[in-house]
Chains A and B, each alone.
Chain A
């Protein structure tokens, strides 16, 4: 496979706000490489530094230390209007006194492109975001979804090397958001522009991204493809933040994990230190009920349509959720108060070292 170029190179970037005792570290020595033509997502809870990182790439802030490169060129000291990077803001920030067409043309006019080229690009962009016929409307005459698409068109009209999207779908209702997720992915494929998308919505990140960086406390916790992050989380934060996870506290013994009163869970522990404490992460949908499983009691049964989630209490351990797919017309397999045994397959266990 051909080696893809690095679009954005982030090298040990730190960002602090405030001074003295009130100083807050928003980013702590973050290093990342974002590739050409990639749909890259910065995912994390609010306050994790993802938006700060985006603002550093756009040039609205300058890093306290470290540096950024765009296709090998250092970005420090350049202002936003000097960078071939465009942003889709969370609130869209469409200029209220300009028409849709004038909003889309703004960046091109500022770059002093010839008028016929501007007109052609505006037409093309309106078609791309399916807003033909809306050219002369004002932003306030559009719905939230339409404004969102104008904001996208305004940024894409400049053919930026990198497009930044700051929580750009969060203001839309669920149905529109799902549509726009597909739409964004399509636009990214069709334009071949590197997209850097910021979100706190893990589902959104998993559906759209080529790669995801999970952030927390100003630090990148893990970078990888959606399946990598979901199936092989590197630590408890990632396992907990992405999807639903059950955690068991265990001690490594010769033939598996000692779970206290629940007994021993067999596992090939050759690579782990005997006697060390570990956390086992188990996805609810990878569990089942079986005769030789861990004994527990059904505390709650939650019917979800496609699935049913059983809340199981265990001795010595935090409770677990088991998610089973429903057969058409079938009754729930267990009721509240039933004693059950939760079957754990060795290959569904993710071991997190403490």
Chain B
């Protein structure tokens, strides 16, 4: 096989523009990571390499509690929203029914709705039904905005699936139930896993909605970081942020590996 060179490189300035874009995207993150290893108490003045801020973070019980909340909420929201999204995708790929396109549009709507609107609406809703603000209210709100993120890759996977597989299973004496467990779900799994990973990261990262609906004791990591930053940018904030980035990158690598194994 010959390796072909992308013909775009022949145009002048393409390489320069590409480098600029990469720097634009990643330089701030790089600076944050570098500064998280800064020994100086003032976050923006470099005075030597140190891991001390990481140990400060890990020793801070408030940060650890916020991290634990974040993980609990992200895990639960991921499971619940992925199950909902899978069921929705299966229903949407079945025989056509009245109002299908409307429902499809509504499933994607939370992606477009301004987050602040969703946040205010969620808060009003919880107050109206008299629900106490806490971990549960955060979880409910997270499930809502995680569903469309989990739904998209699952739906795409289903759309790309050859309907002949289901027919072949049925032809080979599999009941609809057996066809689902033995054929449809295993073939759908890469989509389900990417959907779940996406939901997890979106939930872990959410600030606006969480800030509105989290009561006392339900503070998540992004909300805690926001609170810290109001006192000024400390190297501690850099260290937490770098650790959250690490978790996100781990997830991306994991989802890539899962995709490869399934091939």
User: Are the CB atoms of A107 and B172 closer together than 8 Å?
Assistant: yes
User: Are the CB atoms of A81 and B170 closer together than 8 Å?
Assistant: yes
Q: Which residue of A lies closest to B175 (CB)?
A: A81
Q: Which residue of B lies closest to A112 (CB)?
A: B173
Q: Which single member of A87, A91, A94 contacts B171 (CB below 8 Å)?
A: A87
Knowing A89-B168, A91-B162, A91-B164 are in contact, say whether A97-B173 is a contact too (CB < 8 A): no
Knowing A93-B167, A95-B183, A97-B186 are in contact, say whether A110-B162 is a contact too (CB < 8 A): no
- 29 residue pairs bridging A and B, Cβ less than 8 Å apart: A58-B171, A60-B167, A79-B170, A80-B167, A80-B170, A81-B170, A85-B171, A86-B171, A89-B168, A91-B162, A91-B164, A93-B167, A93-B168, A95-B165, A95-B168, A95-B187, A96-B187, A97-B186, A97-B187, A97-B262, A106-B172, A106-B174, A106-B182, A107-B173, A110-B169, A110-B175, A110-B178, A158-B172, A158-B173
Flag whether A154 is at the interface (Cβ < 8 A): yes
Flag whether A111 is at the interface (Cβ < 8 A): yes
Knowing A81-B175, A110-B178 are in contact, say whether A93-B170 is a contact too (CB < 8 A): no
Residues of B within 8 A of A110 (CB): 169, 172-175, 178
Q: Give the complex CA separation of A313 and B74 in angstroms.
A: 81
Residues of A within 8 A of B262 (CB): 97
Q: Give the complex CA separation of A85 and B178 in angstroms.
A: 18
Binding site for B on A (CB under 8 A): 58-60, 79-81, 85-87, 89, 91, 93-97, 106-107, 110-111, 154-155, 158
Q: Looking at A58, A85, A97, which has the most chain B CB atoms within 10 Å of its CB?
A: A97
Q: Give the complex CA separation of A297 and B178 in angstroms.
A: 68
Residues of B within 8 A of A81 (CB): 170-175
Per-position 1/0 for B168-199, Cβ under 8 A of A: 11111111001000110011000000000000
Residues of B within 8 A of A154 (CB): 172
Residues of A within 8 A of B164 (CB): 89, 91, 93
User: Are the CB atoms of B171 and A80 closer together than 8 Å?
Assistant: yes
A139 to chain B, nearest CB (A): 11
Residues of A within 8 A of B174 (CB): 81, 106, 110
Residues of A within 8 A of B173 (CB): 81, 107, 110-111, 158
A103 to chain B, nearest CB (A): 9
Other than the given A86-B171, A89-B167, A94-B168, 12 more pairs (CB < 8 A) read A60-B167, A79-B170, A80-B170, A81-B173, A86-B172, A91-B162, A95-B169, A96-B187, A97-B262, A106-B169, A110-B174, A154-B172
Residues of B within 8 A of A86 (CB): 171-172
Q: Give the complex CA separation of A229 and B153 in angstroms.
A: 53
Residues of B within 8 A of A79 (CB): 170
Q: Give the complex CA separation of A319 and B146 in angstroms.
A: 71
B183 to chain A, nearest CB (A): 6
Q: Give the complex CA separation of A106 and B169 in angstroms.
A: 8
Residues of B within 8 A of A97 (CB): 186-187, 262
A16 to chain B, nearest CB (A): 18
- Which 10 pairs show the lowest CB-CB distances between chains A and B? A107-B172, A93-B164, A110-B173, A93-B168, A80-B170, A110-B174, A81-B173, A87-B171, A97-B186, A80-B171
Q: Which residue of A lies closest to B163 (CB)?
A: A93
Q: Looking at B173, B186, B262, which has the most chain A CB atoms within 10 Å of its CB?
A: B173
Q: Give the complex CA separation of A87 and B164 in angstroms.
A: 11
Q: Give the complex CA separation of A179 and B252 in angstroms.
A: 48
Q: Give the complex CA separation of A80 and B170 in angstroms.
A: 6
A328 to chain B, nearest CB (A): 45
Knowing A86-B172, A87-B171 are in contact, say whether A93-B165 is a contact too (CB < 8 A): yes
User: Are the CB atoms of A87 and B187 closer together than 8 Å?
Assistant: no
Q: Give the complex CA separation of A86 and B167 in angstroms.
A: 11
B124 to chain A, nearest CB (A): 46
A111 to chain B, nearest CB (A): 5
A142 to chain B, nearest CB (A): 15
Q: Give the complex CA separation of A95 and B186 in angstroms.
A: 10
A194 to chain B, nearest CB (A): 16
Q: Which residue of B lies closest to A166 (CB)?
A: B164
Q: Which residue of A lies closest to B172 (CB)?
A: A107
Q: Give the complex CA separation of A94 and B169 in angstroms.
A: 10
User: Are the CB atoms of A93 and B183 closer together than 8 Å?
Assistant: no
Q: Which residue of A lies closest to B187 (CB)?
A: A97
A167 to chain B, nearest CB (A): 13
Q: Give the complex CA separation of A58 and B164 in angstroms.
A: 13
Q: Which residue of B lies closest to A87 (CB)?
A: B171
